[in-house]
Amino acid sequence: MKVSNNHKNLIDGCLRNDRKCQQELYDTFAPKMLAVCMRYANTKHEAEDIMIEGFMQVFTHLENFFGESSLESWIRKIMVNKAISNFRSNNKRYNYEIIDMDMEIADDSSNIEAGLTGAEIIHIMQKMPEMQKLVFNLRVFEDYSFKEIGEEINVPENTARVYFLRAKKWITEKIKEKSDK
């Protein structure tokens, strides 16, 4: 079991509807979870909405946490799933193209490092085209395979790869523009 004694006590208190424990659990994880949600959202307000919905699910389903992973990982997974759900509900009208890998110029050697702060990178990412942002986040931060990404967003695996390559190219260009200023 990967649950620390402190987290075990928090979980037990939350399951008893102890408001102090619920507040402590929220205060402990909210800053990190807001950062996760910010990567998927277009605005801080949208990220906060995703996070609040995520915490509502955390408190509603806390009895389903069995300690197979850390509490933080379990909460993070809920936040990512809420972000994916938010993306789906806000983008129902899109008809995504099937992209042929051979038609894309794939430069997988691009390096997207620059001396930028986390806030600057988040700001850049929030302006990324929606599908590219979602695929980039799932691949880079959540370690989803392209097959898993394709299944989540209902596109072929190669299409997910192309969206990822486009995201890398997009973010590299934006970082270069920012560093040239």
* pLDDT tens column, 49-99: 999 999 999 999 999 998 888 999 999 999 999 999 998 887 644 444 444
**pTM score > 0.85 for this model?**
no
Which residue do the tokens 């890398």 mark? 168
104 contact partners, CB below 8 Å, separation of at least 6: 162, 165, 166
